[in-house]
Amino acid sequence: MTGRFQNEPPSTGNRNLPLKTPKGTRDYGPGAMALRQRLLDQVVRVFRKHGAVPLDTPVFERKELLAGRYGEEAKLIYELQEQGGEPLALRYDLTVPFARYVALHNLSSMKRYQLAKVYRRDNPQPARGRLREFYQCDFDIAGTYDSMLPDAECVKVVCEVLHQLDIRAFVVKVNHRKLLDALLEVCGVPAEMFRTVCSSIDKLDKLPWDAVREELILQKGLQVETVEQIELYVTLHGGLELVDRLADDEKLNCLARAKEALDELRLLFQYCALFQVADRLSFDLSLARGLDYYTGVIYEAVLVGADDDNESTQAAFVGSVAGGGRYDNLVGTFNPHRKQLVPCVGVSIGVERLFCIMEARTREEPRTNDTQVYVASVHKGLHLKRLEILNRLWAADIGAEHSYKRSPKLLDQLQYCEQYRIPYAVIIGDGELARGVVKLRNVATRQEEEVELEMLIEKVSSQLLNGP
């Protein structure tokens, strides 16, 4: 043989290639995945309880379909290199693909949920759950219904999810896009600048007013007097009393859309009171949600302080964990010839930030497998009997494992059970098998009892059902 040795691996061309995930992404090991799956299962249970059906859409869409839907956020879309076919881009959110699905299939109504990864070319902050690849959990209601009934249920869904996850210190900020437009109009902002000004206002949850003020004047070109008028409104927040206060505003009274928005917000508070979540609402005029497709009520669930006793998490975990709103015109942009619009409202749960909170709370490594019984042997030459018992357990739909060694040491097998927190072990030996019995061991208490081999499945099933 000439050249490289037979067992030498081929050269990669770069032996010093760093082993790391791409910027803004992370690996999830078995412990993290177990915790993550528990979170997702809790979210899905709430969605399904409210009658939503599952939906999945492609991870990429036609680039032209995503263009013009996100305003200034469009710069964060990941475009894919064209390979001789149609131009594509990774999905930025799950809302636009859902609207495309409704239009494509000519649906007039649908209540759906979707759990899937989305991609944003953003500046990542992993410690705060801000990544470039991340999960969104969306709940949406499409269809023509009476005012604020679907919207109030979306707020209820958000509150139920956060209660299920034991998130205690949160509020749901609410506002209305038509009210925002009316405010900007009375302040003297040109109509063609409403969206870009809203994008700046939406940064008030992260930046002080002075920074936003500077952006509006120096970058957006607004007059100082106009910005001062905007400040008088967007710094207001409160409850139903603020709705009434704005209803008495003489400038706003002149605009029909302002009156319509305030009437809808008043109705939203009423319905949320019946759902027993009105105490979570905060009417906040700085909430703008920069995406262009919102047309009505918008909302955002925000953590307002430490959610546990760990002081080190107090600053890290204050921020948005869910957001959404009404987008009545988005479906129509995909099917402009359709006579009847399909109004929509929905909410997206920020799983990554919630996952960071759950990780910080967890005091011990979560169990990573669903194995219920471990089949262990005492002597050599019993691996065939182990396989026979394993097959009977599997046939009874009982999660079971054994060693992949023919003659493993008993201590190693029992230590495996304790390490992976497998609740029960079936221990077989020559003497017991000769009498037609096996030992059933409670791994946690280390108590053992003899069980007739023919009664093993019944006994194990009873123990798993009723506990030790």
Parallel/antiparallel/unpaired status of strands 448-452 and 437-442: antiparallel
Coil vs helix vs strand at 344: strand
122 is annotated as contributing to ligand binding = no
Tokens of 218: 């120096």
Residue type, 116: A
One-character DSSP codes across 113-165: EEEEEEE-----BGGGTB-SEEEEEEEEEES--STTHHHHHHHHHHHHHHHHT
140 is annotated as contributing to ligand binding = yes
120 is annotated as contributing to ligand binding = yes
Residue type, 328: D
Bridge partners of residue 374, in order along the sequence = 401, 425
19 is annotated as contributing to ligand binding = no
* CA distances from residue 408 to 35, 199, 375 in whole angstroms, order as listed: 31, 64, 11
233 is annotated as contributing to ligand binding = no
Nearest one of 356, 280, 354, 284 to 321, comparing CA atoms = 354
293 is annotated as contributing to ligand binding = yes
Parallel/antiparallel/unpaired status of strands 53-54 and 60-62: unpaired
CA angle at residue 424 from 421 to 430, to 5 degrees? 130
Tokens of 440: 């059933």
Cβ atoms of 127 and 140 within 8 Å: the answer is no
368 is annotated as contributing to ligand binding = no
The arrangement of strands across the sheet holding 424-428 comes to 400-402, 373-377, 424-428, 437-442, 448-452
* Residue stretches of the annotated binding site for L-histidine: 93-95, 120, 136, 140, 289, 293-294
Binding residues: 93-95, 120, 136, 140, 289, 293-294
